[in-house]
Amino acid sequence: MYKFGFIGAGNMGSAIARGMCKTVNPSDIAVCDTDAAKVNSLSSETGITVTDIKDISVNSRYIVLAVKPQALPSVLGTVKDFIADRGDRFVFVSMAAGTAVSKIKNLLGTDVPVIRIMPNVPCSVGAGMTLCAPDESITEEELKTFISAYEGCGAIDVIEESKIDAYSIVTGCGPAFAYLMIEALADGQVEIGVPRDKAYLYAAKMIEGSAKLMTESGRIPADLKDSVCSPGGTTIEGVRALENGAFRSSVIEAVRASYKRTLELGK
């Protein structure tokens, strides 16, 4: 019996599997995927077991659905037949964007316990931010066990499912926005003569340190921004350039666009 069985080994599934290997014995984790090269590479790296969808469906305490929302009906149609004869207690964990717990249960044709999560890629290095929405049938012990195993992936916040689509846009999509910002900052540095490798390092470390200062100090971004902007100085001139380029509005529109797409996927 596996503690965690992953159906899917894409970027997000692999990231969580890697993170969980820090708190769960890799021998207690299994994975399957149609891409054999991908799962074999993940197994070589972490030591987790490569198997098939039937084995995971029948022999996992937590069945982690690490597939795209569009693939969920097909995958659950297959899993449905495999779990029909199970007489033990097991839990589904879904990370499909915009897909409600009720839809997962309808696709499975049974009232199984489900934990819905929205993770992000930094989970692979233990620095993720994941939102977690357990349905009412999840026991306190089941949730505690899951959260304990998930600690290797980073922070986790338990919320109501009705809030998860809106709350998860920045945590889930935000890393891509952050990487764009890092890339743009690095390009700017390269333009003024900084070597590319140092430009990436400086930009990434600056964002990492800035985020840590905010979360640990409890100060709001506006206050911290003002503390860097000296009157008539270099930073406020850069801030003015960002405002001229509608920086804030562009970021807000990115969040709105991602949220709109999430709602579309849930239909």
pLDDT tens readout for residues 111-127: 999 999 999 989 888 89
pLDDT on residue 97: 85
Listed residues 159, 185, 209: the one ending a domain: 159
8 and 111 fall within a common domain = yes
Number of domains into which the chain is organized: 2
Judgement on whether residues 8 and 138 belong to the same structural domain of the protein: yes
- Give the pLDDT score at 121: 87
Which uninterrupted H or E stretch holds 138?
none
* First-to-final CA distance of the chain: 35
Residues 130 and 33 placed together within one structural domain of the fold? yes
Question: What DSSP designation does 7 have?
Answer: E
Report the distance separating Cα 207 and Cα 192, nearest Å.
Answer: 20
Same domain, 18 and 141: yes
- Tell me, yes or no, whether 141 and 179 share the same domain: no
Phi and psi angles of residue 53, each rounded to the nearest 5 degrees, phi first? -65, -30
Q: Which of 174, 178, 176, 202 is nearest to 188 (CA)?
A: 202
DSSP letter at 48 equals: P
What are the residue ranges in the chain where pLDDT is below 50? none
pLDDT in tens, 195-213: 999 999 999 999 999 999 9
- Provide the 10 A C-beta neighbour count for residue 49: 18
Of 159, 189, 222, the last residue of a domain is 159
pTM: 0.85
Q: Is the same domain home to 17 and 128?
A: yes
For residues 254 and 107, what is the distance between their CA atoms, to the nearest angstrom? 31
* Cβ neighbour number for residue 205 with a 10 Å cutoff: 11
Do 135 and 205 belong together in one domain? no
Report helix, strand or coil for 31: strand
Q: Work out the number of other CB atoms within 10 angstroms of the CB of residue 158.
A: 13
CB-based contact 156:166 (threshold 8 Å) = no
Domain of residue 194, CATH code: 1.10.3730.10
Please give the structure tokens belonging to residue 193. 């003569």
The pLDDT tens digits for 257-267 are 999 998 887 77
**Whether residues 140 and 28 fall in one domain:** yes
Q: Are residues 123 and 148 in the same domain?
A: yes
Token duo for residue 242: 């960002």
What value does the mean pLDDT of the chain take? 94
pLDDT, residue 181, reads 97
Which of 159, 187, 217 is the last residue before a domain boundary? 159
H or E element that contains 28: none
Q: Are residues 71 and 134 in the same domain?
A: yes
Specify burial of residue 232 (Cβ count, 10 A radius: 0-12, 13-18, 19+): exposed
Say if residue 131 is in the same domain as residue 197. no
d(CA 188, CA 157): 36
Q: Does residue 23 sit in the same domain as residue 154?
A: yes
In terms of residue numbers, what domain contains 127?
2-159
